[in-house]
Structure 1
Amino acid sequence: MKDKIKIFLDSDLLEKYLIGSTTKEETLQVERYIAMHPEVREMYLELQENLEAYAKLHAIKTPDGLKEKILSTIKAQNSLRKRFTRYAVAASVAVFIFAGSSYFFWDQNQNLMQENTIVSNKIKTLEEDMREQLEDVRNQFIVLNNPLTKKYNVKGNKNARDLKAIAYINPVKKLSYLNLRNLPELPEDKCFQMWAEVNGEMVNLGVIKEITDKEKLLALPYAENAIGYITIEQKGGNMAPTVENIVANINY
């Protein structure tokens, strides 16, 4: 029975249950284990507290002006619908008055439809951005709380001795994150840039900006036996890593 409980705790069912992503069968299994086994119930309560604390710490701030943008978008859509209806009625009447005017209204309606499409696309983009941010927070929570996550300390070489970071790798969920704790100062014309060698290909992860939140996690592409690099490049970054300027390796 102890082995059975250990296998259950090593899985990610408790985490999935907490964020509401379990199936009906998984939900029944988790609730049964919580009710029957004190150690499972204790782990559940601990994860619940961790999730609440983590959610508060990494709460996604509503983008500035989002409410105004949404209200403005709704107002614009309503205005577009009213204008569309008004022009459509006018066009119908105009057919009987003067056939040539129908083209004018048709052209106006086409423009309104294009405007409506643009507004709808902007709303979809905002919704997608919010979904991606929520998914990233969910993955970070799983990585930090799953017992199978491996933790590696990353230190810079002689060219960046003050560089410190922590890599979190979960081979089960196939998630990798990097927590930059400290970056040494560089000349104004230099910058740090991150790379990942995945399946034999070098992936540019972008320029590392100044650390404003030491608790922030940066997502890394996951692959077995992948290697991450941090290099010093010219300001603005480079298309390919400068090998002689590698200041840290991240093996995962």
Structure 2
Amino acid sequence: MKDKIKIFLDSDLLEKYLLGTTNNQEAMQVERYIAMYPEVRKTYDELQDNLEAYAKLHAIKTPDGLKENIVALIKAENTGRRNYFRYGIAASIAILIFAGSSYFFWDQNQSLQEENTIVSNKIKDLEENMREQLEDVRNQFIVLQNPQTKKYNVKGNKKAKELKAVAYINPVKKLSYINVSNLPKLPEDQCFQMWTEVNGKLVNLGVIKQATSQEKLLAMPYSDHAVGYITIEPLGGNDTPTVENIVANIDY
């Protein structure tokens, strides 16, 4: 046992422990030996006293005014921190203002882009509508002025004796129009509606309005040997024609 203690004391583990340079395993060994063996404990206490004496002997006197300098530095540091804190607050406010303004301008930009898209779409719709109207006017001119256009007078049956219309059919240009020149007066809950049968399929051409019946031609889908109808339907029009309310036939 004494050889074991002697080997331990001859090592530098106690000195390293006092200086705080041992690893975890070495520190645990030193603390265990100090607790178990009085000889090791005595040596440890002597080394600790010697280390304190050496530290006092070689201690450096505190320079004059050091305390005042430290206090001044602390105050300056606190002032700096307060200023830094203030600058930090100011910077944070500036960042928030910048972020808010950025979001505002971004939101405004998004709104402008949306409005621009809406306006662009409206312009496109207007252009398309104008193009269709110009195309329709051109076709009407062709139908009315072309010598190959055939005219068919349309008269109403006994349910609408006053109904008068003229159908214009151009087999060369494959254009068909009808001009309703007169419509009998109907009850307020009824209207005239036009249909055409093309290649076995029934096409709804819409409600014929009294106010506009003499203002322009109504386009009809062209087909060889097509058949058209004018019916009396509930106000607003119907999805399918009411057969018993057919008031005029248009064969072309």
Q: TM-score range by the shorter chain?
A: 0.5 to 0.7
Secondary structure at 1:224 match in 2: coil
What amino acid sits opposite 1:194 in the alignment?
Answer: M
Secondary structure at 1:159 match in 2: coil
- Whole-Å Cα distance in 1 between the matches of residues 234 and 213 of structure 2? 24
Q: Is the CA contact 2:182–2:213 (under 8 Å) kept in the aligned structure 1?
A: no
- 1:18 matched residue in structure 2: none
Quote the sequence identity (%): 78
1:114-140 deviation digits (Å, cap 9, x = unpaired): 111111222222222222221111111
- Whole-Å Cα distance in 2 between the matches of residues 215 and 118 of structure 1? 32
- 1:45 matched residue in structure 2: none
What amino acid sits opposite 2:121 in the alignment?
Answer: N
- 2:205 matched residue in structure 1: 205
Give 1:213 shift: 5.8
Give 1:243 shift: 0.5
Give 1:172 shift: 1.0
Matches within 5 A, 1:13-28: none
Secondary structure at 1:231 match in 2: strand
- Whole-Å Cα distance in 1 between the matches of residues 165 and 195 of structure 2? 15
Q: For residues 213 and 163 of structure 1, do their structure 2 counterparts lie closer, same or farther at Cα, with a shift above 3 Å needed?
A: closer
Q: Is the CA contact 1:157–1:248 (under 8 Å) kept in the aligned structure 2?
A: yes
Q: Is the CA contact 1:196–1:227 (under 8 Å) kept in the aligned structure 2?
A: yes
User: Are residue 146 (structure 1) and residue 137 (structure 2) matched?
Assistant: no
TM-score normalised by length of structure 2 = 0.58
User: Are residue 225 (structure 1) and residue 225 (structure 2) matched?
Assistant: yes
- 1:22 matched residue in structure 2: none
- 1:188 matched residue in structure 2: 188
1:182-216 deviation digits (Å, cap 9, x = unpaired): 11111222111111111211111111111446352
- 1:21 matched residue in structure 2: none
What amino acid sits opposite 1:116 in the alignment?
Answer: N
- Whole-Å Cα distance in 2 between the matches of residues 215 and 109 of structure 1? 46
- 2:161 matched residue in structure 1: 161
1:61-94 deviation digits (Å, cap 9, x = unpaired): xxxxxxxxxxxxxxxxxxxxxxxxxxxxxxxxx9
Q: Is the CA contact 1:183–1:211 (under 8 Å) kept in the aligned structure 2?
A: no
Unaligned runs of 5+ in 1: 1-93
- Whole-Å Cα distance in 1 between the matches of residues 249 and 120 of structure 2? 44
CA RMSD of aligned residues (A): 2.1
Secondary structure at 1:248 match in 2: strand
What amino acid sits opposite 2:173 in the alignment?
Answer: K
- 1:123 matched residue in structure 2: 123
1:213-252 deviation digits (Å, cap 9, x = unpaired): 6352111111122111000111111111001111111112
User: Are residue 246 (structure 1) and residue 246 (structure 2) matched?
Assistant: yes
Which structure has the larger Rg? 2
1:27-69 deviation digits (Å, cap 9, x = unpaired): xxxxxxxxxxxxxxxxxxxxxxxxxxxxxxxxxxxxxxxxxxx
Q: For residues 212 and 98 of structure 1, do their structure 2 counterparts lie closer, same or farther at Cα, with a shift above 3 Å needed?
A: closer
Unaligned runs of 5+ in 2: 1-93
Q: Is the CA contact 2:167–2:178 (under 8 Å) kept in the aligned structure 1?
A: yes
What amino acid sits opposite 1:149 in the alignment?
Answer: T
- Whole-Å Cα distance in 2 between the matches of residues 160 and 99 of structure 1? 72
Secondary structure at 2:154 match in 1: strand
Give 1:98 shift: 4.2
User: Are residue 106 (structure 1) and residue 106 (structure 2) matched?
Assistant: yes
- Whole-Å Cα distance in 2 between the matches of residues 238 and 145 of structure 1? 34
